[in-house]
Amino acid sequence: MERDDRKTVTSCFSKVFQKKALLSTKIYAEIFDQIPEARKFMQGDVLQQKEGFVSVLIEAMKMPQTGEAAERRMEELRQLHVQLGVTAQQVERALNIILEILREELAADLTAEEQKAWDRVIRTFGLDLAAGLS
Ligand code: HEM
């Protein structure tokens, strides 16, 4: 991840946040379509999905690359997914869906630089999460 990515995603967060309903609807529909097993883990409630999606954005945006607090939080998130029985492969597939929808849906709202920063921040975060699962 580039050094300034965190600053960039923070500065344009509101543009992404504004589209949370559209983004979460598309992302969950695509995840449920392509990873049907995910349905049993995730709540069907649309409001809750929207909040869950916003938490993912915020966690990814805020998570520092290094440091004890970041490692502790990442370990907690891995444990949460392990306990649910979510596999590394499922997380990677969901990550690719998220990245693709963010690319498509935000193209008109973000600059190319902002798009790339979001892509790197979410990708790094999701791969780090997947790395601890089996
Ligand atoms: C098929 C793959 C996945 C499944 C089934 C899954 C499932 C879940 C579930 C059930 C929760 C519990 C909280 C809730 O119900 O909202 C959760 C939390 C979370 N997941 Fe995943 N997840 C997947 C992939 C991912 C990916 C790709 C990321 C990151 C890019 C991610 C990041 C998170 C984060 C940050 C939380 C905590 C949210 C919060 O604190 O509300 N997950 N996940």
Q: Please report, in tens digits, the pLDDT of each residue of the chain (134 residues total).
A: 667 999 999 999 999 999 999 999 999 999 999 999 998 888 778 889 999 999 999 999 998 877 899 999 999 999 999 999 999 999 999 999 999 999 999 999 999 999 999 999 999 999 999 998 98
Q: Tokens standing for 46?
A: 């649309």
pTM for the whole thing? 0.94
Domain 5-131: assigned CATH number:
1.10.490.10
> Three-class SS string for 17-64?
HCCHHHHHHHHHHHHHHHCHHHHHCCCCCHHHHHHHHHHHHHHHHHCC
Q: Tokens standing for 47?
A: 């409001």
- Distance (angstroms) between ligand 1 centre and the Cα of 76 equals 11
- Distance (angstroms) between ligand 1 centre and the Cα of 81 equals 7
